């Protein structure tokens, strides 16, 4: 079984991945953030480092998906390979940060890889308003995220809503985390687990 968690920067993907991994006793696969050699440079100069960053994430995510598909353990995954292309790279291209030449090259790599990828059994999309995202980003205090602009987060949110509106690769669960505190309130976390069980196993119908 494979659950993937999608959502904008600061929406709580990693925290929920950790909590669900412990709850179900499943393996957790996390996004390569701390060991990413391009992320800090990217937030300082997006135009210069956009292509390098996106190729790094794409390669890392493809390796991660290969591990998940070969693994016999159930897995909770923090962010998907689909987001790399349909959200982040597309957003950079539409905002003129990623050049047409680089974007075409990137999409060629993605399109070649995606034929070898199996979608998750369930995709959980964490929907969040900008205020919640900003508060969470400030709370975790990563130095390289201090230069993230609000208009960049808004643009990503628009990309997410467009992508989720047409997503059909697997079962989909949308959780509005702007209205929940699944860390501080056990009932909020229990509600998410109940909805996951309903989607995966048909329970509580």
pLDDT of amino acid 136: 87
Percentage with pLDDT > 90 across the chain: 79
pLDDT bracket for residue 34 (50, 70, 90): low
Q: Is the pLDDT of residue 91 over 70?
A: yes
Which residues, 6 or more positions from 121, have their beta carbon under 8 angstroms from its beta carbon? 1, 2, 3, 170, 171, 200
For residue 42, tell me if it sits in a domain.
yes
Q: Is the pLDDT of residue 205 over 50?
A: no
pLDDT of amino acid 5: 97
* DSSP letter (8 states) at residue 11: S
For 182, the 3-state DSSP assignment is coil
pLDDT of amino acid 87: 96
pTM of the model: 0.91
Q: What are the catalytic residues?
A: 78
Containing structural domain, residue 113: 2-199
For residue 183, tell me if it sits in a domain.
yes
Strand pairing class (122-127; 2-7) = parallel
For 165, the 3-state DSSP assignment is helix
Short-list 1, 57, 6, CA closest to 164: 6
For residue 71, tell me if it sits in a domain.
yes
We report the CATH number of the domain holding residue 161 as: 3.40.50.300
pLDDT bracket for residue 33 (50, 70, 90): low
User: 46-86: per-residue pLDDT in tens?
Assistant: 999 999 999 999 999 999 999 999 999 999 999 999 999 99
- What is the tally of structural domains in the chain? 1
Q: Is the pLDDT of residue 36 over 70?
A: yes
For residue 185, tell me if it sits in a domain.
yes
Q: What is the CA radius of gyration of the chain?
A: 17
pLDDT of amino acid 90: 96
Q: Is the pLDDT of residue 204 over 60?
A: no
For residue 204, tell me if it sits in a domain.
no
Rounded distance between C-alpha atoms, residue 171 and residue 96, angstroms: 33
Complete DSSP assignment for 78-136: ES-HHHIIIIIIHHHHHTTSS-HHHHHHHHHHHHHHHTT-PPPSEEEEEE--HHHHHHH
pLDDT bracket for residue 201 (50, 70, 90): confident
* DSSP letter (8 states) at residue 75: E
User: 143-194: per-residue pLDDT in tens?
Assistant: 767 768 899 999 999 999 999 999 999 999 999 999 898 988 899 999 999 9
For residue 92, tell me if it sits in a domain.
yes
Residue whose token pair is 């508060």 = 135
Residue whose token pair is 């808004």 = 154
pLDDT bracket for residue 131 (50, 70, 90): very high
For residue 205, tell me if it sits in a domain.
no
The average confidence (pLDDT) of the chain is 91
For residue 150, tell me if it sits in a domain.
yes
């Amino acid at each position: 079984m494979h659950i993937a968690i999608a959502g904008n920067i600061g929406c709580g993907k990693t925290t929920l991945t950790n909590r669900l991994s412990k709850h179900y006793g499943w393996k957790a696969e996390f996004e390569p953030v701390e060991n990413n050699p391009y992320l800090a440079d990217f937030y300082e100069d997006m135009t210069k480092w956009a292509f390098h960053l996106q190729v790094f994430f794409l390669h890392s995510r493809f390796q991660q998906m290969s591990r998940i598909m070969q693994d016999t353990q159930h897995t909770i995954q923090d962010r998907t390979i689909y987001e790399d292309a349909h959200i982040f790279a597309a957003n950079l291209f539409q905002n003129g940060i990623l050049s047409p030449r680089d974007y075409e090259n990137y999409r060629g790599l993605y399109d070649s890889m995606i034929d070898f990828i199996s979608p998750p059994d369930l995709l959980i999309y964490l929907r969040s308003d900008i205020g919640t995202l900003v508060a969470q980003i400030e709370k975790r205090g990563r130095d390289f995220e201090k230069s993230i602009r609000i208009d960049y987060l808004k643009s990503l949110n628009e990309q997410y809503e467009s992508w989720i509106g047409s997503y059909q690769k697997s079962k989909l669960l949308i959780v509005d985390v702007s209205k929940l505190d699944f860390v501080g309130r056990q009932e909020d976390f229990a509600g998410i687990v109940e909805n996951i069980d309903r989607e995966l196993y048909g329970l509580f119908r």
